[in-house]
Amino acid sequence: MSTGSFINAMRRFYAIRGEVKEFRSDRGTNFIGAADALHMKVINVEDSETISILEDHRTVWKFNPPHASHMGGVWERLIGVARRILDNMLRNPANQNLTHEVLSTLMAEVSAIINARPIVSVSTDPNSPFILTPSVLLTQKTGTMTQHPVELDTKEMYRSQWKYVQILANTFWKRWKSDYLSTLQSRQKWESVNENLKVGDIILLHDRDVPRNQWPLGVVLRVFPSDDGLVRKVEVQVVRGDATIVYVRPVCEIVKLLSV
């Protein structure tokens, strides 16, 4: 996506959803490039500023730190599952020549499916069947969506655009239901809490780009505690030859060697 395409996509989002208080994203070059082109004041997590306003819409834009794509896990998980399903569906030679109308309608149906997922525990009280979903928050409407006809003849799907879309949407739903549910299982990797890194700790930086047999040692200069008090990103000073370089890295890229 070019910077121009991204800006257009963002303006479409504003046009449909209205004013946005906060955007969160990774540090994609198209995002940063768009911020420069629009003269936006964006939040970089390594800066001391915690509030930044987009000039036109007064929107805060927060970027994840470098090398920390996992910090966008909330949205990356949904994007990854949806992308794998759509890739599998649309690589089928029979589905590679979709018209703009069919593809646009399909993506609207996909959005409705993703936004219909529960985001809180479902109540076991029969008198309280209400389920909170992203769709409820976006539309301020409760209740289930109107059901589509269940009998769709695949033989007629290529002669009727609306049937074609609904068959594709049903295919996405079946895959989504099985693939998304598997991501909700508890993972043990991030369940334990370790001691926070502190200023002055001696660390080893996990850097995939360093030559063989080189170990970038450094010291923690600053820590960035989250709202829950846990430190998930730090600013470190690393010695490279005769120079010292300062990086901001997530704690998963840091190996603590000596604590102060």
- For 151-178, what is each residue's pLDDT tens digit? 666 666 667 788 888 888 888 888 887 7
Supply the pLDDT for residue 45.
41
Whether the CB-CB separation of 232 and 250 falls below 8 Å is answered with yes
For CA atoms 99, 103, 108, 109, give the dihedral sign: positive
Q: Round to whole Å and give the CA distance between 111 and 135.
A: 9
Which residue is it, tokens 């000596």? 258
- Write the CA distances from 123 to 104, 130, 132, 224, 237, integer angstroms: 35, 8, 10, 37, 50
Q: Which residues of 174-200 are buried (b: 16+ CB within 10 A; e: fewer)?
A: ebbeeebeeeeeeeeeeeeeeeebeee
Band of the pLDDT at 61, cuts 50, 70, 90? confident
CA 75, 76, 77, 82 torsion-angle sign: positive
Q: Which residue has the higher pLDDT, 209 or 92?
A: 92
CA distance 166 to 187: 34
Amino acid at 29: T
Crossing angle of helices 161-182 and 100-114, in 10° steps, is 30
pLDDT at 224 over 60: yes
d(CA 157, CA 146): 21
Q: Which residues of 224-259 are buried (b: 16+ CB within 10 A; e: fewer)?
A: eeeeeeebbbbbbebeeeeeeeebbbbbebbeeeee
CB atoms under 10 Å from CB of 155, counted, come to 8
* Residues in contact with 169: Cβ distance below 8 Å, sequence separation at least 6, in sequence order: 106, 109, 110, 113, 148
Contact predicate 259/242, CB 8 Å: no
- Taken in order 131, 133, 136, 141, the sign of the CA dihedral is negative
Residue ranges covered by each domain of the chain: 3-63, 95-182, 202-258
* pLDDT tens profile 6-49: 778 878 888 888 888 888 888 776 667 676 677 666 655 444 44
Q: Mind listing the pLDDT tens digit for each residue in 120-161?
A: 765 555 566 567 788 888 888 876 555 555 566 666 666 778
| Residues 155 and 163: beta-carbon distance below 8 Å | no
Residue 15 CB partners (closer than 8 Å, separation 6+): none
Mean pLDDT computed over every residue of the chain = 76
| 152, 170 contact by CB (below 8 A) | yes
